[in-house]
């Protein structure tokens, strides 16, 4: 995974180094991938950090609400369009979005090129949702049906947004 800890590097302080292209790679639909750079374990559950790449036109998940964690998004490359409730917010390279728990949202790559977002979940337990989602997609070759998705979201204190 191209990850090293302070102990492995001979350091006397706690830290974690994740090399470029390092971290746990998860594949989703629509030519999109996520690399979990930090999950909830090394951070004692405090935070998870990820890098998300998607091709132009790729939609994120259906609009949803996290009831148990906050989420951040920072656009590294490309142009993304976020839907936050009824608001549509274009975010270009360098833009940052903080979504406190309870805020409905979704996104899509609205640009003409590969896009990259980095972000966090606080607390970090939601990283495990993405592992389960990637496994479902890998097994079936499709997004989960609504009932399966509701059950999966439910395990991570998340619901679909019903306007």
Q: What is the strand order of the sheet 48-54 is part of?
A: 24-28, 32-38, 48-54, 115-122, 70-77, 96-99
Report the pLDDT averaged over residues 72-87.
98
Q: What is the pLDDT of residue 3?
A: 56
pLDDT tens digit sequence for 29-66: 888 999 999 987 766 778 999 999 999 999 998 999 99
* Whether residue 6 has pLDDT greater than 60: no
Is pLDDT at 69 greater than 70 in this prediction? yes
For the segment 148-162, what is each residue's pLDDT rounded down to a tens digit? 999 999 999 999 998
- Residue 39 is predicted with a pLDDT of 84
Tell me what percent of the residues of the chain surpass a pLDDT of 90. Answer: 75
- pLDDT band of residue 11 (cuts 50, 70, 90) is low
Q: Is the pLDDT of residue 1 over 50?
A: no
What is the rounded average pLDDT for all residues in the chain?
90
Give how far Cα 82 sits from Cα of 8, 10, 108, Å.
Answer: 40, 43, 7
Return the pLDDT at 148.
94
The pTM of the full predicted model, rounded to 2 decimals, is 0.89
Adjacent-strand bridge partners of 84? 87
Annotated domain spans of the chain: 22-160
pLDDT of residue 15: 81
State which fold the 22-160 domain adopts: Jelly Rolls (2.60.120)
């Amino acid at each position: 995974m191209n990850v090293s800890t302070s102990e492995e590097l001979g350091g006397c302080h706690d830290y974690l180094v994740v090399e470029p292209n390092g971290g746990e790679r998860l594949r989703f639909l629509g030519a999109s991938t996520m690399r979990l750079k930090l999950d909830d374990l090394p951070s004692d559950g405090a935070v998870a950090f990820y890098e998300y790449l998607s091709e132009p036109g790729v939609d994120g998940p259906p609009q949803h609400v996290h009831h148990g964690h906050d989420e951040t998004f920072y656009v590294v490359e490309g142009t993304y369009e976020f839907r936050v409730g009824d608001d549509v917010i274009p975010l270009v390279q360098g833009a940052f979005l903080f979504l406190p728990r309870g805020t409905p949202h979704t996104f899509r790559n609205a640009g003409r090129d590969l896009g990259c977002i980095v972000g966090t979940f606080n607390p970090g337990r939601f990283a495990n949702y993405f592992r389960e989602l990637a496994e479902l997609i890998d097994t079936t070759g499709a997004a989960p049906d609504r009932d399966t998705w509701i059950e999966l979201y439910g395990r991570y204190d998340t619901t679909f947004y019903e306007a």
